[in-house]
Structure 1
């Protein structure tokens, strides 16, 4: 099979999995919106805090995926099992730490995010139920990454399908009741935790079926501090990259909010439309990381170069085509979300700007995955920090606020950031210094 065929074959389960998660998020928001605005705000603030948690958990998952993809390429099963052991131990430790933080500081964290007293009162119990068992959130990320790193993207998809289906059913039953009185927001939290626990169980079963779970023998479970250090060293820049992205978003989102309610609504709705190309790009990025990592493990550097060229081209092309279809549909679909002609016009105009930027966005997505697979997680971190803070955030202020171009100016800044970051990442990619020992 050609590399393009292999890439797409590995990517489609990850794409479907991400799409299902987005749909579950939509259903969750719909159910909770029936409870009241305070509950909606509590969930919104909680999710904002959890994004920071996710950044840490995903950094462990990134390290696990890179290490396991290389050992899979080397076809060293014993080494793979040792990597699985250490990835799980690291995940458990981090999950426990964040669970304790959530137990003791739930109200403080919500207040720190600017939540009102009413939102803190309602949200603190919801946050505790969701975040104290952070182990399960972290394990979903790590085990999914381990399986994808071996080239198995279907098992996480199946687990995600059942997890999300159970989540929606339990959500409705526990929020609104079924032959009993519903538990409201508490029910939503319990549904989320139970579905994650089931998802972890299914993922563990998938690892066991693939014989990735190491037996209870000392050589697999004795802690190798050097390996743990190398995993943390590789994962930390990936974590910081996501944190730079999130904190930068908070800053420029604040500028857009001050432009007016209609403008911020148009920005938010545009984000819902662009989600489709993002989901596709993320799935292709997962597949790219796996294939590049396995090729490096096999020592086939010529294949690494060829696969890298193909992956960047395919990702940019597919993401651009997907967003073009979305933009064409937006002429009619935007009216499903708002009746305001001004907001509809803004959505269509901003989507066109993002369509022009989409080839660069595809390059950023694929090149970041390639560099991380090569063990170079620091350069994407530096590029994200520079792009989000020096280009995007400053550009939103300059074009959107100072020059008065509003949302059009803000998205021009986002497009400029993507092209500059794509250029910097491509320069690093061409140097081939990103293939590093881990």
Structure 2
């Protein structure tokens, strides 16, 4: 195959995932826009809640990552029955984890918000929002896993179609339930209900898509009985991926807490800036989907020369595209920031922080692609160790030193984040060049 053929294959597989994730980012953007009309307390409450939910997502995404690796390998091996067994195990594991996190949310919502350092006003507003969003965590978890199953087979269009309807419904319900139509709106509670309803619809659509693709295992004990060896192998791949994300999210909780203590306006600026940077992040996640699928399938079929070609293409394109997207976002932010707040200090701070993140984007793209490559190759431990060191020894410490100790505030915090990304990019690239990351699973 010519290099252009590899690039085309990569982009054809990636574009539905990019569009799907872009739609999700648009929903988050519109959701934040609606909530910003309620007040900065509500913005801060949603920001703190989402920071905690990122830990939930880390666990759910680890199951999805392991599922995608195993499914893509089995597709490369052309073993259909093995694929169905993997699907059944993934759905069982996902459902159990979702139920457990639902119970945790019911009992500890207020405690978790307080642990984040949120003020009494933010905890009061955010507790009910957090409970409504996270008690039905099983639906969040299933959306992650079922999407990963479909994408692991090379089908990125079905999750796109499901995501399109889910997100359109979310936006409509969001507006109606927050502000009302022929009735008084429910405010922040309405936003939470809209999110849950749209996720339930998304699960239904993904189930239908899996059924049409003949991916749902029939009710056969042979396929649904737990095979201990396979189950443990899925867990073995998933745990380092989970810990990698948990190290990231737990570090975020710590330095988010530092930023919260800088003041409500500063944390609101941090939260609103995150909504702008989400565009490049979501595009990178879409490219990582294609990376995982192609690396996994070609590893499963033993085409190691193709694995190397796709790896090089993924690194280059992910870095370039993510940087280009954030450049456009930064240029648009000069006018778009005023949609969220009229506070001039918050607006100026958002624009300055976005510029720092733009400078960091080439490294962020490299980290995004290399993490997907190594995990798809079966080497989930190395990215875990690199994230652990980067987040705790560089990023969190850097936020304290730059942002708090030396008094640079939010500028210092985001500078530490940029430094961490560049260091991790270098370490991960060194591992990638060794090709010791291609492992049996």
Task: Give me the TM-score of the superposition, normalised by structure 1.
Answer: 0.90
Distance 2:41 2:356 in 1: 35
Residue 111 (structure 1) shift: 4.1
Residue 283 (structure 1) shift: 1.0
More divergent stretch after superposition (380-389 vs 95-104): 95-104
Report 1:274-423 matches (<5 A). Answer: 274-330=277-333, 333=336, 346-423=349-426
- Residue 229 of structure 1 is matched in structure 2 by 232
Residue 417 (structure 1) shift: 1.3
Structure 2's unaligned 5+ residue stretches are none
- Residue 155 of structure 1 is matched in structure 2 by 158
Name the SS of the counterpart of 1:360 in structure 2.
Answer: helix
- Residue 79 of structure 1 is matched in structure 2 by 82
More divergent stretch after superposition (219-228 vs 115-124): 115-124
Report 1:32-43 matches (<5 A). Answer: 32-34=35-37, 40-43=43-46
Distance 2:435 2:279 in 1: 31
Distance 1:200 1:116 in 2: 35
- Residue 167 of structure 2 is matched in structure 1 by 164
2:69 to 60, 66, 69: 66
Residue by residue over 1:148-172, the C-alpha shift from the partner in whole angstroms, topping out at 9 and shown as x without a partner, is 1111111111111111111222233
User: Compared with structure 1, are the counterparts of its residues 280 and 342 closer, same or farther at alpha carbon in structure 2 (3 Å cutoff)?
Assistant: same
Distance 1:389 1:126 in 2: 30
What is the total number of aligned residue pairs between the two structures? 438
Report 1:244-259 matches (<5 A). Answer: 244-257=247-260
More divergent stretch after superposition (332-341 vs 375-384): 332-341
Matched, 1:48 2:90: no
More divergent stretch after superposition (392-401 vs 141-150): 392-401
Name the SS of the counterpart of 2:215 in structure 1.
Answer: coil
Q: 2:98–2:138: 8 Å Cα contact kept in structure 1?
A: yes
Residue 435 (structure 1) shift: 1.0
Residue 47 (structure 1) shift: 2.7
More divergent stretch after superposition (166-175 vs 48-57): 166-175
Name the SS of the counterpart of 2:384 in structure 1.
Answer: helix
Structure 1's unaligned 5+ residue stretches are none
Residue by residue over 1:326-355, the C-alpha shift from the partner in whole angstroms, topping out at 9 and shown as x without a partner, is 344445555665667766665555444433
Matched, 1:21 2:31: no
CA RMSD of aligned residues (A): 2.7
Distance 2:375 2:381 in 1: 8
Name the SS of the counterpart of 1:2 in structure 2.
Answer: helix
